[in-house]
Structure 1
Amino acid sequence: MVTQSSDSIIIVGAGVIGLSVAWRLAGRGAHVTVFDKGKAGSGASHAAAGMLAACTELEPGEDWLLPLNRESQRLWPGFAAELESATGLSVGLRGEGTLHVALNADEQARLRHHFALQEKAGLPVEWLPAGEVRAREPLLASTSGAVWSPEDHQVDNRKLAAALRAAAIGAGVNLREDAAVERIVIENGRAAGVEVGGERHAASTVVLAAGAWSRGIGGLTPDIRPPVRPIKGQMLAVGMDAGNPLIRHVVWASGVYLVPRIDGRLIVGATAEERGFDDRLTAGGILSLLQNAWRALPGIEELPLIETWAGFRPGSRDDAPILGSGPVAGLVYATGHHRNGILLTPVTADIVSRFILDGEHDPLAAPFALERFHAHAA
């Protein structure tokens, strides 16, 4: 049995990427259905820390990611305001910026090297001496200085997922939760729909936005299967006094980051492990997070532990997103965002929706096509 119209758009995955693309498409009148194997926003979108850290997270050799990351960072204030206006729901966007601290001389040397890399890339960062770090965050441990990234903000990823779910439904998106896509149907050289529970759903376009699970969707031959794997991250949260929190900025230190929420939660993350879809928490993983957090913020030892969890970042072969069209007509990719899924939500939604509806190939997306992996293999 075949359901739906062949001119509809089906999105596989209801994380923040899939939901934001659906919202943009439906806002322009498209007929959109989103399928997810679980509840909307329950995967990496739920597990993330919500950092918008385009500057802090720059790594050697990743300059090619900066234009996309920085453009999405620029879009975030307007995107958040539009989403909040559409739904009446807050996404918890905070603008205090990020401090990347060094706690001893060795860490200072490494951080100075990283700071030089950021300056060379033209990023808006500043070196702060120890006294200024203490003035901004007096309860941090003694530091040897810090890199100040005033444009690296944060959003509450769980609130974001809830708001995008509401916005998508409000725009007319048909959201099908607890409905796992078994395979993407390819006929006559193009995507023709999906199969869910043995039932075929026809579509003119299928968007693959299933995060770390994208590679496992059936119906994809090796040349069109995205090379995406799960990268496990263990995390925890402690409870601060919301009216008198230990820290107000996002703080990075050796082996850990600390993300304070408006409601008093302090998010502590995250490990990076190649463990497949093993979601078990480990004593070593949690211990390392707590030890590194305590080194940076000694007062954390008095705080109640309120939650622990693990999630799966969708890492591609080069840890960069896979965006846009591929070898099969009608199959569009929006996956592989690795540690930047929350950051890249606005720009991904814009790029993918404009490609589907207008045929527009945004130059920002050009480096992130699936074909780059085929070129490397040739």
Structure 2
Amino acid sequence: MPVTSVPSVPMSAAQHVRADVAVVGAGVVGLATAWELRRRGRSVAVVDPEPGAGASRAAAGMLAPVSEVQYQQEPLYPLMLASAGAYPAFVAAVEEAAGGSVGYRATETLVCGVDAADRQALADLRELQLRHGLAVEPLPLRTARALEPALSPRLSAVHRIPDDHQVDPRRLVAGLLAALVAPELPTPSGSSATDGPDGGPARLVHDRATGLRHGPDGAVTGLRLADGGMVSAAETVLAPGTGLTDLEGLPGSWRPPLRPVHGDILRTRPPAGAPALLERTVRGLVHGVPVYLVPRDDGTVVIGATSREDDLDGISAGGVLRLLRDAQAVVPGVADLELVEAMARARPGTPDDIPYLGRVRGPEGDPVPGLLVSTGYFRHGVLLAPLAARLAAELVLGADPGADAEHLATTDPHRFDRPVEAPAADPATGFRTPNRSTR
């Protein structure tokens, strides 16, 4: 299901598109959000010059709420677990609407260490995982190699994680695009086809959003486009990844901290006629440095991924060297694979690696009517897509957050805003001069 096969609505210069909701960004999170809104009866316009061509194009698609646990990121764990639990139903609904598979595999994950220090690091991490009620089982190397014969016989430790699965992000993007433009959608449980004024197929606007449009009351009423066109919408969801702070018209001086974290990733395949190298996802710790190998249904293996914050937008030669070297230390047969693709993309990172998802507030602290943000997903965009889509859709619909209030508090997009300082009194007059907050 290649992305290029999905029909779209072309934009002519200065065209005006109208929808209930405009979504900026057609990565996995933006598309999942648009699709969830359409399922709930809202008309949607998705704005992106190249749908699925950003970080989602390079993502490996590991759904790993257990093996992705890291120290001092406890607030992220409930988000990861909630979204992972929603994945089977999310995939089933997308596949029904799209009429094809999105490459979801419920196979387990094996986490391996190479040297004694790696073994101790995995043992320490397992203690943290167990304290949070997560399932991690140490395996004898002989048992692990019976499951995956391609594993190195020199590994120091192997842990089995049954609840970490995977999906193919490229097929998921294609499925979401197909579902969005499908003439009819199944009505989700608990909603009605009359929830909104127009639940027709989504508009896919292949253009770049340059800024927000505002009404006379300050409410956001849609988007300005690079070709001079516009999108009018009662609600706008900003999901443009690292491009958020490039948009004009954000409230006041609001620019949430957002940094590009580049990652190099490789795609390989076995020689013609050779069997698949792996059945399960294999994650390795090689002298303290992580690497992973993710097998696809077609026999290809995704190898990733570096994490670098530098000025190199393209592929890092050193990163490719390190990935192949470390992958081969865990699975020696990597040396016999054909390298078919090397790619680098920037993932949007926040200071605490937790996304920004919620209503955008103005300088006085009040929500700006018609404006939400959903970005900053770093390594977890594919995993968090079902939860992100549902939370954003319920904010658009004005639903009571209920049990989701804690999730939304965690993802508050203004959590790094600097508070307004108390105005200082003029020693000569005694009057206080108001200070403007800076962000």
TM-score (norm 2): 0.81
Alignment of 1:150-165 (within 5 A): 150-165=162-177
CA distance in 1, matches of 2:43, 2:20: 5
- Contact in 1 for aligned 2:277/2:299 (Cα 8 Å): no
User: 2:417 is matched with which residue?
Assistant: 374
Which of 102, 108, 119 does residue 97 from structure 1 map onto? 108
Which of 273, 277, 289 does residue 246 from structure 1 map onto? 277
Which of 249, 256, 262 does residue 297 from structure 2 map onto? 262
Which of 30, 46, 51 does residue 57 from structure 2 map onto? 46
CA distance in 1, matches of 2:417, 2:104: 38
Residues 153-175 of structure 1, C-alpha deviations (whole Å, 9 max, x = no match): 00001000000011111151101
- Contact in 2 for aligned 1:224/1:326 (Cα 8 Å): no
User: 2:219 is matched with which residue?
Assistant: 190
SS across alignment from 1:139: coil
Matched, 1:34 2:46: yes
**Structure 2 unaligned spans of 5+:** 1-13, 186-200, 362-367, 422-439
Matched, 1:300 2:313: no
Letter in 2 for 1:101: C
Change (3 A) 1:376 1:93: farther
Letter in 2 for 1:46: R
Letter in 1 for 2:391: I
**Distance apart, 1:125 and its partner CA:** 1.6
CA distance in 1, matches of 2:274, 2:297: 9
CA distance in 1, matches of 2:73, 2:419: 17
Letter in 2 for 1:298: P
Letter in 1 for 2:236: V
Which of 358, 377, 380 does residue 340 from structure 1 map onto? 380
Residues 4-59 of structure 1, C-alpha deviations (whole Å, 9 max, x = no match): 44x721111111111111111112221211100x3211111111000001100100
Matched, 1:109 2:148: no
CA distance in 1, matches of 2:86, 2:33: 15
User: Number of matched residues?
Assistant: 374
**Distance apart, 1:74 and its partner CA:** 0.4
**Distance apart, 1:376 and its partner CA:** 7.8
Moved more, 241-250 or 7-16: 241-250
Letter in 2 for 1:260: P
Letter in 2 for 1:181: A
- Contact in 2 for aligned 1:91/1:155 (Cα 8 Å): yes
Which of 304, 315, 320 does residue 281 from structure 1 map onto? 315
**Structure 1 unaligned spans of 5+:** none
Letter in 2 for 1:261: R
User: 1:199 is matched with which residue?
Assistant: 229
- Contact in 2 for aligned 1:228/1:336 (Cα 8 Å): yes
CA distance in 2, matches of 1:222, 1:294: 51
Residues 210-242 of structure 1, C-alpha deviations (whole Å, 9 max, x = no match): 012122222224653332221100011110268
Residues 313-361 of structure 1, C-alpha deviations (whole Å, 9 max, x = no match): 1111221111111202211111111100000111111111111013333
CA distance in 1, matches of 2:86, 2:340: 33
CA distance in 1, matches of 2:140, 2:245: 46
- Contact in 1 for aligned 2:242/2:259 (Cα 8 Å): yes
User: 1:3 is matched with which residue?
Assistant: 16
**Distance apart, 1:377 and its partner CA:** 9.2
User: 2:3 is matched with which residue?
Assistant: none
Matched, 1:145 2:157: yes
Matched, 1:319 2:353: yes
SS across alignment from 1:262: coil
- Contact in 2 for aligned 1:115/1:127 (Cα 8 Å): no
- Contact in 2 for aligned 1:215/1:229 (Cα 8 Å): no
What percentage of residue pairs aligned between the two structures are identical? 38
CA distance in 1, matches of 2:395, 2:277: 45
SS across alignment from 2:340: strand
Change (3 A) 1:377 1:119: farther
